[in-house]
Amino acid sequence: MKKIGIIICHRYHTCAAGKCLRAMHNRQGAFSIYKNEEIELVGITTCGGCPGGNIEYAPAEMIKNGAEVIHLATGLVVGYPPCPYLEAFTQFIPAKYNIPVVIGTHPIPTSYFETHTRLGTWKSGSWHAIIQNILTDEETRKAYN
């Protein structure tokens, strides 16, 4: 069984994690990489707010609970502006804790997809790689709106 921790953007600190948990249960979005594995959520928290002070400590607590991978929630990608510290988080967590990081949880909802498409947010090559696990078909995006 793969044990997972999730870190969300502090902007969404009141989020009930409904989309993340649904995606985890249905193996959609970034959780599609676990199609043939059992998974268990062992921790969920916010980054602590910019510049992400909780990133220094939260993975340690999740690892104590057995976390084998940390997911940085989709909200860090789709919020506006997208998290300016996303790249730093993806470098720091594996370097400090020797644990892989996956960008994303639930699929990108249609409303965010359309807004960021109009803004051109994700046109660069680096963004294409960042959103690959959470960029799904139109029907799935609509289901997460």
CA-angle at 1, arms to 62 and 39, nearest 5°? 70
The per-residue pLDDT for 123 is 86
Give me the long-range contacts of 124-128 (CB less than 8 A, separation at least 24). Answer: none
pLDDT in tens, 55-66: 999 999 999 999
pLDDT, the chain, mean: 95
d(CA 91, CA 124): 20
Backbone dihedral region for residue 123 (phi beyond 0: left; psi -120 to 50: alpha; all else: beta): alpha
88-137 confidence digits (pLDDT tens) = 999 999 999 999 999 999 999 999 999 999 999 988 778 888 999 999 99
Which residue ranges form the domains of the chain, and what is each CATH number? Answer: 2-143 (3.40.50)
Calculate mean pLDDT across residues 26-36.
96
pLDDT of the residue at 61: 97
- pLDDT computed for residue 118 by the predictor: 94
